[in-house]
């Protein structure tokens, strides 16, 4: 009887010590895959799952997860905006981004928003996910294999200012860049059609295509992306107002630097 009571007590203690995880992705099959990876884990417990930003915020207020594992491309609030909002409402909750993109700009935007780790869906297995979760849970910072090398190469080459670079030039045509710039400047589809000498329907097709290609779901996110890429000028801050971006904590780089 005493042995059984001790086992129950230990099980309860273990449950209290496990790290609570909230999954946020609009693809149920991916959430199911992560749940399968973690179902036998003694360290992590899935406390909920959401398919959009609004549901994520609701569940965070209820379950108070330790880590939110989320995609960038979400309906409504995208992963970048959601990370900012989570940091504001629940500063103790850490965010681990799991994205299909591994370009420098996506990583930069995630880090700037306050994410503590970045994994790439197509290149991450169970070991990578567990490693990332353990690193983030312990207060570290995690970059997926391949990403760290890219960022290091950029810094080593003197291109530390990733924000000033324009990865969009490699992903978008000249016309698409024009449309992005005009959207960010607040132009309507009718305005853009007149400026670019296109039909309104063609402009709307460009907008829809750009949203899908850049994995954003609203104009605010697209504008943020355009600012980060330098396609539109960043408004100057008033005297005495400074951006908040303190030093990051010690972080772990998985891939060796060569």
Residue written as token pair 């850490």: 94
CATH of domain 168-229: 1.10.10.10
Q: How many CB atoms lie within 10 A of CB 144?
A: 25
Q: In angstroms, what CA-CA distances link 202 with 30, 65, 193, 197, 209?
A: 34, 44, 8, 10, 11
Helices (H), the chain: 2-17, 28-38, 53-63, 79-89, 104-113, 126-137, 147-156, 168-171, 174-184, 189-196, 200-213, 219-229
**Beta strands 19-24; 67-70: pairing state:** parallel
Q: In this predicted model, what pLDDT tens digit does every residue of 80-112 receive, in sequence order?
A: 889 999 999 999 999 999 988 777 777 878 888
Domain parsing of the chain, residue ranges: 2-153, 168-229
Q: State how far the Cα of 14 lies from the Cα of 227, in Å rounded to an integer.
A: 46
Long-range contacts of 121-129 (CB under 8 A, 24+ apart): 121/30, 124/98, 126/37, 128/254, 129/34, 129/37, 129/38, 129/98
Residue in 47, 120, 112, 49 with CA at minimum distance from that of residue 81: 112
Q: 207 CB contacts (<8 Å, ≥6 apart)?
A: 179, 183, 189
pLDDT < 70 regions, the chain: 1-16, 123, 145, 149-170, 215, 217, 224-225, 227-258
Q: 9 CB contacts (<8 Å, ≥6 apart)?
A: none
Q: Which fold has domain 2-153?
A: Rossmann fold (3.40.50)
pLDDT at residue 5, rounded to an integer? 42
pLDDT at residue 127, rounded to an integer? 81
pLDDT at residue 165, rounded to an integer? 46
Q: State how far the Cα of 39 lies from the Cα of 161, in Å rounded to an integer.
A: 41
pLDDT at residue 250, rounded to an integer? 35
Instruction: State the pTM of this model.
Output: 0.61
């Amino acid at each position: 009887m005493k042995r059984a009571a001790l086992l129950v007590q230990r099980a309860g203690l273990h449950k209290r010590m496990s790290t609570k995880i909230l999954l946020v992705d609009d693809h149920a099959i991916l959430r199911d895959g992560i749940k399968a990876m973690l179902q036998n884990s003694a360290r992590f417990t899935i406390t909920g799952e959401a398919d959009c930003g609004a549901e994520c915020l609701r569940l965070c207020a209820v379950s108070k997860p330790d880590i939110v594992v989320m995609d960038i491309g979400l309906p409504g609030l995208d992963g970048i905006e959601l990370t900012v909002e989570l940091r504001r409402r629940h500063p103790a909750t850490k965010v681990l981004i799991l994205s299909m993109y591994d370009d420098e700009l996506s990583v930069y935007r995630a880090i700037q928003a306050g994410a503590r780790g970045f994994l790439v869906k197509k290149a991450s297995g169970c070991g990578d996910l567990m490693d990332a979760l353990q690193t983030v849970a312990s207060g570290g910072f995690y970059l997926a294999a391949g990403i760290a090398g890219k960022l290091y190469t950029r810094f080593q080459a003197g291109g530390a200012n990733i924000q000033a670079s324009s990865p969009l030039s490699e992903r978008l045509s000249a016309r698409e860049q024009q449309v992005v710039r005009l959207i960010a400047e607040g132009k309507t589809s009718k305005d853009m059609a007149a400026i670019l000498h296109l039909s309104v329907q063609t402009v709307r097709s460009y907008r829809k295509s750009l949203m899908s290609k850049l994995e954003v779901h609203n104009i605010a996110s697209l504008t943020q992306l355009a600012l980060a890429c330098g396609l539109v000028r960043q408004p100057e801050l008033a005297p005495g107002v400074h951006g908040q971006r303190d030093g990051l904590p010690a972080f772990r780089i998985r891939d060796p630097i060569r």
